[in-house]
Structure 1
Amino acid sequence: MRILTAAHHAPSVGYSQPWNFILIRDRSSRLNIKESFSKERLKSVELLEKDKEKKRKYLDLKLEGILESNLNICVTYDHRRFGPYVIGRMTIKEAGIYSVCCAIQNLWLAARAENIGVGWVSIIDNKHLKRILNLPTNIKPIAYLCLGYVNKFEVQPDLQSQNWLNRLDLEKVINYEQWDDRNRPTEWEGFSQRLTGKKAYS
């Protein structure tokens, strides 16, 4: 409940709090969801047929813990909550979904503080998920999470330690004033060094 309380206190557009948390322990439900995962995973494997090395790596990855974890949680989005007018959502419709993602991030950080591991299973057909969990038509599943105690927390994300992808350098994802930062304004000189502590703040 402490973890869910942290999630429920996430910021949300227009204070809409558009999330719900479905707690799942029933094995038959989990088996059905695992079946959906397995089907969708096979579709992904088919896309890698031409890259044998990538396919091998993909098949070796542990991408879910649906049956092994202590608890599954489906986090959903209800666009009708406090609707139809929600402050801040009229122009950017997706802001409601972004709010649910804030709740998921809060949940994840709170779980880590409790020494509980979290995995986000995104290789699931949402149509199957809605049917299995009996979700109303206006409720959209956003995340299917597996929570449980783990033997240890890895230093790096699994996909990085298993050489699937590397973390990008921070400098490569920062732009100054506009998208193309090749002509960086002089007032930004030294900014990155100050952020990383390489130079004292002026």
Structure 2
Amino acid sequence: MSQPHAYSVEEREALYRAIRERRDMRHFSGGEVADTVLQRLLLAAHQAPSVGLMQPWRFVRVCKPALREQIHQLVEQEREATADALGERRDEFMRLKVQGVLDCAELLVAALPAGRDAHVFGRRTLPEMDLASLACAIQNMWLAARAEGLGMGWVSLFDPQALAELLHLPAGAKPVAVLCLGPVAEFYPQPMLVQERWAQPRNLSELLFIDQWGALRDEN
């Protein structure tokens, strides 16, 4: 039965298509992102839900080439450290392309602001809900970017303190994501880590429990 507030079939399919075809992109083809499009994407992020309406997202648009290069170097340092921590999978990991900081049209850093402890609503027992809210904003931008035909990649390989100092973040603020955004030659037909045989996704049926953890079906 169709719900009275449902979108049209075409509109729903467009939404589910964006969700289905969104990819964490690492390969970019240069070019540019029109300012009007960038503003739409940032507004989509800003319209995300947030716990207690705290809106804990801050975005730094990186425009200076020298600063972009410095961020690239931070990512490379962490890439080497991560590879060392992976032990026997080190060489396999080093063959993966894990970021497009120097190749993307736009580079943004998503961060949590200082003073988050003042927001108690919804965070008294779950203080990490500020991070969850920021993740919702990033996901909004990601889906909107896919609908606009632009690729976006979330890079988390960096030392947060080093990046915070590089961007002159105030004490207590924390960078969470380096976001690579821009035109791509094509979207991966499946997640890149699946294509590269690094990992395999799990089926939803393995992750949905009934009434208690680990119960995959109703036993009654």
TM-score interval, normalised by the smaller of the two chains: 0.7 to 0.9
Residue 116 in 1 paired to residue 150 in 2?
yes
- Once superposed, what is the RMSD of the aligned Cα atoms? 1.6
Give the counterpart of 1:7 among 33, 45, 48. 45
Residue 92 in 1 paired to residue 126 in 2?
yes
Residue 63 in 1 paired to residue 101 in 2?
no
- 8 Å CA contact 1:120, 1:144 repeated in 2: yes
Gaps of 5+ in 1: 187-202
Q: Deviations over 1:55-110 (max 9, x none)?
A: 332122110111111111111112526x6244211221111111011001101111
Any residues of structure 2 matched to 1:144-159 within 5 Å, and which?
A: 144-159=178-193
- 8 Å CA contact 2:206, 2:216 repeated in 1: no
1:167 corresponds to which residue? 201
2:25 corresponds to which residue? none
Cα drift, residue 42 of structure 1:
1.1
- 8 Å CA contact 1:10, 1:102 repeated in 2: yes
Q: Report the AA paired with residue 153 of structure 2.
A: G
Counterpart Cα distance in 1 of 2:77 and 2:113: 27
Counterpart Cα distance in 1 of 2:66 and 2:120: 38
Moved more, 156-165 or 29-38: 29-38
Higher relative contact order (CA 8 A, sep 6+): 2
Q: Report the AA paired with residue 60 of structure 1.
A: R
Residue 76 in 1 paired to residue 111 in 2?
yes
Identity of aligned residues (%): 37
Q: Deviations over 1:107-126 (max 9, x none)?
A: 11111111111111111111
Counterpart Cα distance in 1 of 2:63 and 2:93: 28
- 8 Å CA contact 1:31, 1:67 repeated in 2: yes
Counterpart Cα distance in 2 of 1:88 and 1:183: 31
- 8 Å CA contact 1:79, 1:139 repeated in 2: yes
- 8 Å CA contact 1:18, 1:79 repeated in 2: no
- 8 Å CA contact 1:24, 1:72 repeated in 2: yes
Q: Deviations over 1:2-42 (max 9, x none)?
A: 00000000000001111111101211111111111111111
- The size of the alignment, in residue pairs, is 182
Counterpart Cα distance in 2 of 1:131 and 1:181: 46
Give the secondary-structure state (helix, strand or coil) at the position aligned to 1:128: helix
Give the secondary-structure state (helix, strand or coil) at the position aligned to 1:98: helix
Give the secondary-structure state (helix, strand or coil) at the position aligned to 2:152: strand
Q: TM-score, structure 2 length as denominator? A: 0.78
Counterpart Cα distance in 1 of 2:126 and 2:86: 35
2:160 corresponds to which residue? 126
Distance 1:166 1:136, change over 3 A: same
- 8 Å CA contact 2:209, 2:217 repeated in 1: no
Q: TM-score, structure 1 length as denominator? A: 0.85
Counterpart Cα distance in 2 of 1:183 and 1:148: 43
Q: Report the AA paired with residue 40 of structure 1.
A: E
Residue 20 in 1 paired to residue 58 in 2?
yes
Counterpart Cα distance in 2 of 1:62 and 1:39: 14
